[in-house]
Structure formats: C-alpha cells, structure tokens
Structure 1
Amino acid sequence: MPGACRPGRQCTPGDPFAARDHLRALTAGKTVVCRQLDTDCYGRAVVQCFAGELDLSCAMVRGGFAVERYGRLRC
C-alpha cells in the first residue's frame, strides 16, 4: 500500500488498491487454503495459497497485479 515501500528499494509498480480489489474478487465466497512450502533465510514461511482450485499467486501475476520477485512460479 502507499508508503509501504522502504526508501532505496525498487518497489512493485502498479496500483496497490486495484491489486487488493482483484484479490478480493478472486477469493469472494471461496475458502482460501494455504500450505507451507519452505522457510526462507529470515525464518519466514513460504506458502502457496489457493481459492478453490485457483493458485492465487499465479492469478495475481497473470492479471498484472503482482510480479515474480524471489523465484519462479510454477503455474
């Protein structure tokens, strides 16, 4: 969201509000299930989330609302 990108970092382009609204539309009325795939070098969980059968990461990238930053998605 605006102001969330730290100074000196390259931030993801686009409208964060449009991305939020798109994600809301993708998940509306669906059960969201996430599964942990890994843990990154900072101890954070790396997860894959689905709304029904839809991979949310793939859908967000495909729709132009997100970018692949830390690795390649398998969509």
Structure 2
Amino acid sequence: MPYHHDGDAIRCGGAGRSMRLYGIDAPEMPGACRPGRQCTPGDPYASRDHLSSLTAGRSVRCEKVDTDRYGRSVVRCVASGIDLSCQMVRDGFAVQRYGRLNC
C-alpha cells in the first residue's frame, strides 16, 4: 500500500525514499516551505488525503521519468487507470509545475 507524506509524493513497498509525482506541485506541509520560495497555496493535509484516497485499495503502477535536484525519482503513476498527477490537478489539490502533463 502506498504511503503519502504530502500531495505530490508517493512511497511504495520497501522504497527507502519518496518519489515525486511528475508535473505537479502540491501545498507544502507546515514548516516545509523554505524561506524565499513561493509555495503552492492550499491545505496540505487535504491534498495528501485526496492523493491517499486516489490510491487506496487500488493497484498503483509507477514509471520513472526523471530524477529531481534532490536525487528523488520523478515518476508518472497510474492507479486503476487514473493518472495521479492529472487527477490531483483536475480536482484542485495540486497545480501543474515542473513539466508538461498530457491529461
């Protein structure tokens, strides 16, 4: 079962690090927005919980497409045919950023 720390990351199985969802940015958890950075507005808990609802009880498949500047894998993930990045943007819990979504 996937674990979600926030609305734009996923950790599966025994993966040691979270992987970043391709093409989106979600609100940061309290204290995670570094000074001088303009972080995505919104409720970070609602965003995380919505992402969790999209993966709960579903088969999730992820494909690595890049590595971010922090060394994390950037992945495109689908849960039972639903592109997680596209759905998070569609539902208003994330914004498109860091890549071009093809929804």
User: Do these two structures clear the TM 0.5 threshold for a shared fold by scoring above it?
Assistant: yes
Where structure 2 has 5 or more consecutive residues not aligned to the other structure, the ranges are 1-28
Aligned-residue offset at 1:48: 0.1
Runs of 4 or more, structure 1, over 6 Å off, are: none
Cα distance between partner residues in 2 of 1:53 and 1:33: 9
Cα distance in 2 for residues equivalent to 1:24 and 1:71: 22
Aligned amino acid, residue 65 of structure 2: L
Match of 2:97 in 1: 69
* SS of residue matched to 1:8: coil
Percent identical across equivalent pairs? 72
- Give the structure, 1 or 2, with the largest relative contact order (CA under 8 Å, sep 6 or more): 2
Larger radius of gyration: 1
Deviations 1:38-62 (A, max 9, x none): 345x354321011110000000000
Partners of 2:37 and 2:53 in 1: CA distance? 29
- For residues 1-75 of structure 1, the aligned pairs below 5 Å read 1-40=29-68, 42=69, 43-75=71-103
Let me know the Cα RMSD of the aligned residues: 1.3
Per-residue Cα deviation, 1:2-43 (whole angstroms, up to 9, x for no partner): 111100000011000000111111111002111012345x35
Q: How many positions carry a matched residue from both structures?
A: 74
TM-score scaled by length of structure 2 = 0.66
TM-score under structure 1 normalisation?
A: 0.88
